[in-house]
A and B are shown apart, each in its own frame.
Chain A
Amino acid sequence: MIIETVKKVNNEFGNFANIYLVNSIYNVPKDEANTDYQNILEWVADGNTIQEAD
């Protein structure tokens, strides 16, 4: 997966659901063993910014 955008996902109570929506399609859990989450961390380390939830 080539990451273009990352946005936080909130739960029904308006709190961060520990899910990141990547490229408006991929629901990536905040799990350090998830390789897509690892890639998000690298993407942020490269200077990119995660968008806040709607």
Chain B
Amino acid sequence: MSTLEVNKITPVSGGTTVQVGESGDTINIPAGATIANAGTSTGFGDSLRPNVSPIIINGNCAVAQRGTSVTGKTSTGIYTVDRMSAVIGSIGTYTIAQEAQTSGNAFANGFANAWRIDCTSADASPGASDQLEMQYTFEGQDLQVFKKGTANAEKYTLAFWVKSNKTGTGNIQLKDKDNSNRQCTQSYTISSADTWEHKVCVFGADTTGAMDDDNNKSLIINWWLGSGTDYSSGTANHGVWEAQDNTKVNDGGTLNINDNTANDWSITGIQLEVGEYTSSSLPPFQHESFGDNLQRCLRYFEKTYEVGTAPGTATGTGIIRSGGNQGGRTSGRMGDSTTYVVGKRAAPTVVFFDSSGNSGVMSRVDQGSSSSTNQNATLANGSSKSFEVTSTGTSTGDVMNYHFTADAEL
């Protein structure tokens, strides 16, 4: 091997580019050597958001405050994994679960949990307006880095691990709620059944329509899993932002998880990056600690129960024991206030539970004597930071015992 010793390599006169090697060559940087970059580098997997938390909250599906599995679902909701919603519109019945991983490609890449949907009552002939999706939503103030609606607008790269018993084409829709539901669609292919595959999808930059810089819903990601013809009769324009046209969003989608009770679909490692990346240039998934991940989820949902205990469970563990009536025992009104662990996106919807797991009520305790469940519980002065609770229940006591959930989801 010959050695070239120079201090500087410059393009030939009139040129601006220096090429090293040819396509297919390998350029080796020896161990211990350093590449120092004082300019702009591209294509090295650099993130435009270095050293900050990932844009997608709970993308590794580790946090599931509401529970780990629910059955019989026929309507829309966030049922298990935080921030991940099942959109179910008259298209069958489903089990939604946080699926623990112990093997497979996703597990081998550091993902121990996934969001999973199983069809338990099929609808093989959905009505035209029926729909089935997995959905993630963003606040507009968290997406300003995409510079949407400006001349400097950035592309969106969405990466994720996916597994299904079905092979075929799945569609993804970005939906801009701030600008008349402008949309951009992209598709991916599941090549092998029951095998975790990593997908990288690029969506175009949009110079039209800035997203609001506030705490409301600005952008939605829909992973289409099945639909009627209202969502599939058009011709998709993949990767290009355009005015709302529902007929295009699931054009060519063949997954149809709704068409057989043998069907399932799972996702994890969900990652959204600013700019365009390929599978080889994509920045690594930013694995947060469970605690950091949970802390971000609490902005949208909080509960008094232990992390692994579903709301409505009959337990005293974690229950709030409030002073209630400082004046002593009473069969009349008691009241107190509670501050949330994390301030919420908005004043949340609150549900109270008594120690037996009954919802919409609390327990009134006569200390050292008795505890009565199913007692009135009423919210007052609810804000994003705290709430007051009163009880006008009839049971004599001097302490209020209650669990609560606080939901400020988008």
Contacts and interface: CB of A to CB of B under 8 A. Distances in A.
A27 B410 contact: no
Summarize B's interface: helix, strand, loop or mixed.
Answer: loop
Contacts of B382: 18-19, 27, 29, 31
B68 interface: no
B215 interface: yes
A11 B381 CA distance: 9
A31 B351 CA distance: 16
Contacts of A27: 349-352, 378-379, 382
Q: How large is the interface on B (under 10, 10 to 19, 20 to 34, 35 or more residues)?
A: 20 to 34
Nearest to B377: A27
Contact of B346 (A11, A17, A34): A34
B390 interface: yes
Contact of A34 (B347, B360, B380): B347
Contacts of B351: 25-27
Interface string B378-410: 111111100000100000000000000001111
Interface string B90-110: 000000000000000000000
A36 B349 contact: yes
Nearest to B361: A25
Nearest to B359: A25
B321 interface: no
B223 to A, nearest CB: 20
A35 B409 contact: yes
B347 to A, nearest CB: 4
A34 B347 CA distance: 6
Contacts of A29: 347-349, 379, 382-383
B409 A12 contact: no
A17 B380 contact: yes
14 contacts: A11-B381, A12-B333, A12-B380, A17-B379, A19-B378, A21-B378, A22-B349, A26-B351, A27-B352, A29-B383, A33-B216, A34-B347, A34-B349, A35-B217
